[in-house]
């Protein structure tokens, strides 16, 4: 069961996805750049960082995670973002969610947004799963009465049994993810941002998760998912973006994007193997 604050009727899962572009853009990204300061991290205090600056003067301490990123997402899009680890995919999603502020460029979102970027974000470990549903509803701005109506369906979808009345600190990572996914997708957002949550749980829950995403796309909402599951990309998405080293390498048909990605991975592997052979040969002499 999914609903927005005005209680829209249940979507017809069998209905085709509405053609892209009918409702205009859901997201506009223009010349987006996110720069990290490597001096200031969670493990470095300001004092430690200043000492490091004095000791390592001249060393590069700023890093562009993504730069010169521009694209639009239309209502009806199910967009996948793929690429190697460290490419900037999650940073991009955090910027779209408003968690990270752009260093340069801009992001514009049109409509209600639901995110599943950090599993269990905002949960209280001392509260039960049932109480965390109400707490999450408050964080999401959902009226208490609406959340109360949605709770039975959320609990049923999460399928964590009697643990729903146990403190969240007793949950496994998978159970927290199931509850988080169920809560975040219980409303009908205009924009849904996902980061690898489709790989959470057992096979039955994975299938339920993918079906829930299809329902949201069927109602002409925009979905952006960062994933390493290339099979999901080709089977469920109508568009895919390949990101490498903070830049968009390709944006287009999912099958074509996946093939380009696989080819580039193969080329990098061959290059590394060649370099390893050359190093071994030079070391032997």
According to DSSP, the residues that pair with 192 across neighbouring strands are 114, 223
Give the least confident one: 14-23, 95-104, 157-166: 14-23
Helices 203-218 and 173-184, interaxial angle, to 10°? 20
**pLDDT interval class at 128 (50, 70, 90):** very high
Helix (H, G, I), strand (E, B) or coil at 73: strand
**Residue 92: predicted pLDDT:** 95
**Residue 13: predicted pLDDT:** 33
Q: Is residue 263 one of the residues assigned to a domain?
A: yes
**Residue 236: predicted pLDDT:** 87
Mean pLDDT of the chain: 82
Residue carrying structure tokens 């707490």:
135
Give the least confident one: 46-50, 109-113, 207-211, 237-241: 46-50
139-151 mean pLDDT: 88
Instruction: Return the percentage of the chain with pLDDT > 90, whole number.
Output: 44
Containing structural domain, residue 39? 25-112+189-284
- Our count of domains for the chain comes to 1
Integer Cα distance of 123 and 139 in angstroms: 10
Q: Within the chain, what is the greatest distance between any pair of CA atoms?
A: 76
Q: Is residue 139 one of the residues assigned to a domain?
A: no
CATH value at residue 250: 3.40.50.300
Q: Is residue 122 one of the residues assigned to a domain?
A: no
Q: Is residue 71 one of the residues assigned to a domain?
A: yes
220 versus 122: which is more confidently predicted?
A: 122
Give the Cβ contact number of residue 229 at 10 Å: 17
Residue carrying structure tokens 């209680």:
7
Q: Is residue 56 one of the residues assigned to a domain?
A: yes
Q: Is residue 226 one of the residues assigned to a domain?
A: yes
Give the least confident one: 29-33, 107-111, 164-168, 247-251: 107-111
2-8 mean pLDDT: 48
Integer Cα distance of 189 and 115 in angstroms: 9
Give the Cβ contact number of residue 96 at 10 Å: 22
According to DSSP, the residues that pair with 35 across neighbouring strands are 64
Q: Is residue 234 one of the residues assigned to a domain?
A: yes
Residue carrying structure tokens 């199910």:
78
| Sequence-separated (6 or more) residues with CB below 8 Å from residue 258 | 82, 230, 233, 234, 240
Q: Is residue 194 one of the residues assigned to a domain?
A: yes
**pLDDT interval class at 4 (50, 70, 90):** low
Instruction: Return the percentage of the chain with pLDDT > 70, whole number.
Output: 79
pTM tops 0.85: no
**Residue 45: predicted pLDDT:** 52
Length of the chain: 285
């Amino acid at each position: 069961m999914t609903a927005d604050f005005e209680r829209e009727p249940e979507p017809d899962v069998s209905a085709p996805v509405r053609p892209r572009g009918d409702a205009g853009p859901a997201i506009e990204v223009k010349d987006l750049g996110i720069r990290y300061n490597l001096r200031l991290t969670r493990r470095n205090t300001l004092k430690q960082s200043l000492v490091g600056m004095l000791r390592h003067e001249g060393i590069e301490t700023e890093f562009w995670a993504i730069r010169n990123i521009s694209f639009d997402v239309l209502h009806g899009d199910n967009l996948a973002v793929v690429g190697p680890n460290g490419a900037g995919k999650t940073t991009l999603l955090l910027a779209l969610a408003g968690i990270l502020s752009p260093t340069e460029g801009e992001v514009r979102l049109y409509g209600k947004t639901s995110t599943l970027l950090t599993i269990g974000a905002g949960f209280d470990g001392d509260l039960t799963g049932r109480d965390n549903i109400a707490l999450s509803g408050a964080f999401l701005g959902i009226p208490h009465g609406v959340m109360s109506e949605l709770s039975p369906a959320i609990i049923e979808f999460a399928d964590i049994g009697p643990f729903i009345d146990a403190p969240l600190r007793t949950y496994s990572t998978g159970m927290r993810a199931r509850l988080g996914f169920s809560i975040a997708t219980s409303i009908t957002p205009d924009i849904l941002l996902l980061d690898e949550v489709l790989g959470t749980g057992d096979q039955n829950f994975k299938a339920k998760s993918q079906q829930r995403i299809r329902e949201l796309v069927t109602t002409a909402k925009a979905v952006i998912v960062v994933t390493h599951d290339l099979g999901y990309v080709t089977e469920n998405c109508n568009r895919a973006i390949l990101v490498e080293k903070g830049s968009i390498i390709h944006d287009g048909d999912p099958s074509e994007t996946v093939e380009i990605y696989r080819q580039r991975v193969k080329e990098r592997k061959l290059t590394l193997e060649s370099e390893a052979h050359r190093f071994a040969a030079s070391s032997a002499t």
